[in-house]
Amino acid sequence: MPVSINKLYINQSSYNPNTRSRVPTGKRIMSSEGKKVKNNIIKAAKEQMKSQQWDYELTKERYLYLDTYIYMNRLGRDDNNIYKLLNDSLEKIVYDNDSRILTRTQKILIDTENPRVEVSLRPVEYIGIFDNEELLHKFELNCMSCKRYSRNCSILKKAKEGRIQVEVNNELECSKFNPKK
C-alpha cells in the first residue's frame, strides 16, 4: 500500500553551527518510509511486467487509464493521497511518463490483514481530439487528399496531439482543406 502523500515527503533541515540546531532548508524530500514503499512498488511492478505482454512504446504516444482497486487498512483514508507515489514508482517501468496516466479509483474496500492496491492499465479509446481510431482514420483519409498533407500538415499533427483548433469544427471538418488537383 503506497504511503499517503502526507507522509511521503518531509521537510529537509541542516545543521546550523551558529545556533547549534537543525533549521529547515525549505526543501521537501522523500521520507525513508516513502523510499522503502517506492522500492517495493518498483520491485513488484518489475516482477509483474515479466509475465505481461505490454507495449511500452504505446505509452509514449497514448494516454492510459490506470484503474485501481484499493484495499485500505482502515476507514477514513483518502485514496487520492496514494496516487503520487504509485504513479511515480511505475514511471519508466510500466509507462514512459505519468503525465499520460488517467488514474481512476474503481473500488475501495477495507482489508486490515492485507492492505494493498491492485492496478490495471489500458489505453484510452480516444486519440487526440478524436473519440476513437476510426474517427482519426476517417479524418486522416480526408487529409491525404488535401494539398497541406504532403507538407506535413500542422493541423493534423495538432489534432493528433489533442490540441483544439479553430480550423477543425465539432464535426471534425477542416476549414483549411484544399483538394489536390
Q: What is the pLDDT along the chain (181 residues), one digit of tens a residue?
A: 666 677 778 888 888 888 888 888 888 888 888 899 899 999 999 998 888 888 999 999 899 999 999 999 889 888 888 888 899 999 999 999 999 999 999 999 999 999 999 999 999 999 999 999 999 999 999 999 999 998 889 999 999 999 999 999 999 999 999 998 8
Mapping DSSP onto H, E and C, the string for 117-142 reads EEEEEEECCCECCECCHHHHHHHHHH
Mapping DSSP onto H, E and C, the string for 65-100 reads EEEEEEEECCCCCCHHHHHHHHHHHHECCCECCHHH
Task: List the chain domain ranges.
Answer: 5-123, 128-181
Domain 5-123 has CATH 3.30.70.1230: no
CA distance 10 to 1: 19
pTM comes to: 0.77
pLDDT in tens, 92-106: 999 999 999 999 999
Q: What is the pLDDT of residue 79?
A: 86
